[in-house]
Chains A and B, each alone.
Chain A
Amino acid sequence: MVVAFILAIINAMLIQNVVLYRFYGICPFLGVSKKSNEALSMGLAVIFVIVIASAICWPIYHYILVPANIAFMDTITYILVIASLVQLIEMFLKKYSPSLYASLGVYLPLITTNCAVLGVAQGNTDTNLTFGMSMANAIGTSVGFLIIIFAFSCIRVRLEASNVPKCLKGIPIALITAALMSLAFVGFTGLIK
């Protein structure tokens, strides 16, 4: 059981990485990766939202929506949960870290429609995972997001200082870098049999 839990985390974190393998959550990945500390706090905010949202959405789906025969309402219910959580984290940051609040800018409320968040909640119930497994999926996915956005921001900081051909400066070289990272992550396929 514990082994399966850890394997599920590693699977979601590295092998089926949320950004580089499933292409979820590209928007903050490109938008908030210019500075490492901003990327780190974005990753932490996403971890908070994904884990709590999955922990709330799973019981709502299995103990309210399914018994009441309205499983078709799943998406709008999840969006309600996610939007409330993002609102909460926005209030929290505004109070305790106004500078971070200002630097994350519009990308903070955009977590609401971050497809990584909805994708995890939806995927957990669509594939009929147990509660433990869906938590493993949520933790693995969100930690995977944090690792990737942080690594990417570290590369981008160095790209700023390096001599990039003029036509590739800025976003083009960032996209090429993301593509190379995605290629590198293919190497994890087959890590778990």
Chain B
Amino acid sequence: MLPILWAFIVLAGLGLLFGFGLAIANKIFYVKEDNRIEEVAKMLPNANCGSCGYAGCKGFAAAIVKGEAGNLSKCRPGKLETTYNPILEYLKDHPNDDGTPVNIKI
């Protein structure tokens, strides 16, 4: 048979095989990521001062989205106009998957 045909078959076969393997691995190693954490972290001052009691702004953002943080004002460098209100607004528009609002106050 023509080598070009073999080249096609072998590469396509290997590609399919690895593709399937990776698809299965993706199912096994699946990590649920919440896009809102990233967005909220962008709106925080990103000073990573730690005065909120969490590990950096990313940690605080994760706690806010999970509804564990309680009050946004734990973020000391944050301002009402530029930090708290935009985050509240954003979370109002992006509720949890089951439709319940995110548990957070200023």
Tell me, rounded to whole Å, the shortest Cβ–Cβ distance linking B5 to chain A: 9
Q: Once the chains are docked, how many angstroms separate the CA of A94 from the CA of B67?
A: 24
Within 8 A of B (CB), among A55-80: 60, 64-65, 68-70, 73, 76-77, 80
User: Of the candidates A64, A87, A98, which one forms a contact with B10 in the assembled complex, judged by CB atoms under 8 Å apart?
Assistant: A64
Interface residue? A21 (CB, 8 A)? no
Flag if B3 contacts A68 (CB, 8 Å). Answer: yes
Mask for B16-49, Cβ within 8 A of A = 1, else 0? Answer: 0010011001100111000000000000000000
Tell me, rounded to whole Å, the shortest Cβ–Cβ distance linking A125 to chain B: 15
Flag if B18 contacts A81 (CB, 8 Å). Answer: yes
Tell me, rounded to whole Å, the shortest Cβ–Cβ distance linking A84 to chain B: 4
Flag if A80 contacts B11 (CB, 8 Å). Answer: yes
A interface secondary structure, majority? helix
Residue ID in chain A nearest B14 by CB atoms: A80
Given A76-B11, A84-B21, A95:B29 Cβ within 8 A: yes
Flag if A80 contacts B15 (CB, 8 Å). Answer: yes
Q: Once the chains are docked, how many angstroms separate the CA of A84 from the CA of B14?
A: 10
Tell me, rounded to whole Å, the shortest Cβ–Cβ distance linking B13 to chain A: 9
Interface residue? A171 (CB, 8 A)? no
Residue ID in chain A nearest B9 by CB atoms: A68
Tell me, rounded to whole Å, the shortest Cβ–Cβ distance linking B11 to chain A: 7
Tell me, rounded to whole Å, the shortest Cβ–Cβ distance linking A102 to chain B: 10
Flag if B25 contacts A91 (CB, 8 Å). Answer: yes
Flag if A77 contacts B14 (CB, 8 Å). Answer: yes
**In the assembled complex, which residues on chain A have CB atoms less than 8 Å from the CB atom of B7?**
68, 70, 73
Q: For the complex of A and B, list the 3 residue pairs with the smallest distance between their C-beta atoms, beginning with the closest.
A: A84-B18, A91-B29, A68-B6
Chain A interface residues toward B at CB < 8 A: 60, 64-65, 68-70, 73, 76-77, 80-81, 84, 87-88, 91-92, 94-95, 98
13 interchain pairs, CB-CB under 8 A = A60-B14, A64-B10, A65-B10, A68-B6, A68-B7, A68-B10, A70-B3, A80-B15, A80-B18, A84-B22, A94-B31, A95-B30, A98-B31
- Using A69-B3, A77-B14 as known contacts, list a sample of 7 further A-B pairs with CB atoms less than 8 Å apart, ordered by residue number in A: A70-B7, A70-B10, A76-B11, A77-B10, A87-B25, A91-B22, A95-B31
